[in-house]
A and B are shown apart, each in its own frame.
Chain A
Amino acid sequence: MKRREFIRKTGLTAGAALVAPYILPSGRLFAQTGSQIAPHVVMVMFAGGVRQQESVLQRYVEDSQDEPYAGNIMYNMLDGEAPTQKIVYGTGAGGINPIPQILNSSLQSQGTLFSEVTALSRGHYKGLNSLLQGSNAITQGLRQKPENPTIFEFLRRHGGYSATDAWFVGNGIYNSVPLLNYSTDPGYGASYGANFFAPNITFGGACENFLGDARVYHPENELDPIYQMKYFLDNNFDNYASGLGNLGNTENEKQQIKEFMTLMYDKTGNGTIAHPPISDSEDLRTVGYTCEVLKHFKPAMTVVNLSNVDACHSNFTEYTASLHRADHAVGHLWDYIQNEIPEMADNTIIIATPECGRNLEPNGILDANDWRSFDHSDENALRVFTMMAGPTIPQNLTIGGEGNPIGFTSDSMLTAAEILGVKNDVLNAGTLAAGTLSLFDRL
């Protein structure tokens, strides 16, 4: 009898020893079944409403203002000659000095360009949601968190990625941007969400006053007792419900984030943030802080949101400057990954997609150069592109073109899911917009 009990206990112990290492932070027993194509994805929500005519079609002011000056003002991302006249998008007085190219060869030549992609929305927030949820977000409210699970939640729940493996870097806190890091889906939610910073706010002067002088507590003698007492109080409080925004960072991850914040306040004060060579806009500074996030955490999934091009509602000149800077930002981001983060160089895939385009016809508002402005509400506002580059991505390949749209903006989310090994989980959830495919399936 004793021998039988001994054998049973030994068996149970051996079984537990085999299984325990595979219990992931997400609670999943085994790692995802899909294999990774690459360990890191950086998705640039090239947002704010980018008009196809000034981006992929490289018409500068030829199409929009009826002036005979075409050219490529996004030469880090696209192949093509820059305009030679009427240059207003650069630096200096009147923006006459174009920002020098960062990348030796464009992302288009390093990867694949889907040059005519259909956006799922003409608006910003639904467009951003379609990029993160992969769904058409028809019933998505403007001041609501995503209705369907985001890419972050799929990765963390099904892929076993930790909280600091998923980052969303926003260029501000307005237009509901901070709501995008997790959904309200009852099966997913905050505990599978991404960490989020709006770094221009977090590390700006006002917040430094309230966040930048945190007392450092001894981890064992002080922090541990604080948490023990907190947990005691929490256990005695029955009403605690979800929805408090706790992302499930472990104590160790929280410590890492606090150290990162301290580092960022120091580097911001010293002027040593990894900003692009030109950093005179929010988008550019957002990308600078994104580089810092990448360097510090080496996340599996990083999403960064840009939006300064939305100036096009009333200022076409500023729109071209912002578009030129968004390209500069992406060029810097890719260059930084390849040259400053050895752990991510050569094993990161970048995906860049606008959330929506802009109208074909102007709205009647003239800027200081008497150039017409453009909103985003017509069919032309559904015309965008997607760029991707990195390991396994075919180089110097262009798919689709004017009059031959291929793919949807929601493809980017499923593509990221495939790269990081949770494509089947996303497909099984049934939340994707009709027609959505991984871009790998469109090659």
Chain B
Amino acid sequence: MQVSKIISSVAIVLFIALSASCKKKEDPLFILNNVELYPNSAAKTRVKSDEQWVAILHTNLFQSALSSNELFQIGECIASIGDKELVREVIISNFMNDGGVIMPTDEEMRADLTTFITDTYTRFLVRYPSVSEETWYTNYIETNPYITPELVYFSFALSNEYLYY
């Protein structure tokens, strides 16, 4: 009698233990925040061709693409001048004179410098600014009343990093 009690007790304990141990575990749920990944400047090792540079520049400034015919013509213009830095400067100046460049106003820029600087880095250099870069630009713009978004865009378009991808 006692043996059967013991057996039934053990069976109950085992049943409970097995039931508990075999209970299906819920799958853990991992949630990732959306983070846009950009290359850093060190990963840019290849030089853009003249046509790539001007096509990307036009898109960055006007948010629209150049026609293939225009691209071919500008490529010839660049080839016809020896100092490539100078011709890039002249092309940017011409684009800036076009009137269709999409950029914030001076007031918008100064109202939120952090956003402006981050947006400009991602727009032109396809990366976020480092803390020191953001600090430098913030200080430079704040202390220089002549700085406009156009001048900032010009400097980015003229930078060496903008020539690489």
Residues of A within 8 A of B (CB): 163, 168, 173, 178, 181, 193-199, 201-202, 206-207, 209-217, 221-222, 225-230, 232-234, 236-240, 243-247, 249, 254, 257-258, 261
Contact = CB atoms under 8 A, between A and B. Distances in A.
A258 B89 CA distance: 10
Interface in B142-157: 144, 146-147, 151-152, 154-156
A178 B147 CA distance: 36
B81 A196 contact: yes
A211 B80 CA distance: 11
27 contacts: A178-B82, A196-B81, A197-B81, A201-B80, A206-B76, A207-B73, A210-B70, A211-B94, A212-B94, A214-B97, A225-B144, A226-B154, A228-B140, A229-B156, A234-B159, A237-B164, A240-B161, A244-B84, A245-B82, A245-B84, A246-B83, A246-B85, A247-B83, A249-B83, A249-B86, A254-B85, A258-B89
Interface stretch (B1-9, B13-21, B39-47, B108-116): B39-47
A348 B140 CA distance: 49
A232 B80 contact: no
A209 B163 CA distance: 23
Interface centre among B125, B133, B151 (most CB of A within 10 A): B151
A247 B144 CA distance: 30
B81 A244 contact: no
Contacts of A221: 146
B12 interface: no
A216 B90 CA distance: 10
A193 B47 contact: no
Given A245-B84, A246-B84, 15 more contacts: A173-B76, A197-B80, A201-B80, A202-B77, A207-B76, A215-B93, A222-B146, A229-B152, A229-B155, A233-B156, A238-B42, A244-B160, A246-B83, A247-B83, A258-B90
A182 B70 CA distance: 28
B91 interface: yes
Contacts of B160: 233-234, 237, 240, 244
A11 B79 CA distance: 51
Contacts of A216: 93
A210 B91 contact: yes
A211 B161 CA distance: 23
B158 interface: yes
Interface residues of B, number: 46
B83 A257 contact: yes
A210 B94 contact: yes
B79 A225 contact: no
Nearest to A236: B133
B65 interface: no
Contact of B93 (A178, A201, A217, A236): A217
B136 interface: yes
Interface string B110-147: 00000000000000010000100100110010001011
A222 B151 contact: yes
B103 interface: no
A348 B70 CA distance: 41
B96 interface: yes
B56 interface: no
A198 B87 CA distance: 13
Interface centre among A168, A193, A212, A245 (most CB of B within 10 A): A245
Interface of B: 41-42, 44-45, 47, 70, 73-74, 76-77, 79-87, 89-91, 93-94, 96-97, 125, 130, 133, 136-137, 140, 144, 146-147, 151-152, 154-156, 158-161, 163-164
A206 B77 CA distance: 8
Contacts of B82: 168, 178, 181, 193-197, 245, 247
Which 10 A-B pairs rank lowest in CB-CB distance, beginning with the nearest? A196-B82, A229-B155, A245-B84, A214-B93, A201-B80, A233-B159, A215-B97, A198-B80, A207-B77, A237-B161
Contacts of B77: 201-202, 206-207, 210-211
A254 B136 contact: no
A246 B81 CA distance: 11
B90 A202 contact: no
Interface centre among B44, B76, B84, B137 (most CB of A within 10 A): B76
A214 B90 contact: yes
A254 B73 contact: no
A23 B155 CA distance: 30
A243 B136 CA distance: 29
A288 to B, nearest CB: 16
A178 B79 contact: yes
Nearest to B87: A211
B91 A211 contact: yes
B38 to A, nearest CB: 15
Contacts of A214: 90, 93-94, 97
Contacts of B164: 237, 239-240
A130 B6 CA distance: 109
A229 B154 CA distance: 9
B151 A229 contact: yes
A233 B161 contact: yes
B74 to A, nearest CB: 5
Contact of B90 (A181, A211, A238, A249): A211
Nearest to B155: A229
A280 to B, nearest CB: 21
Given A246-B84, A247-B82, A230 B44 contact: no
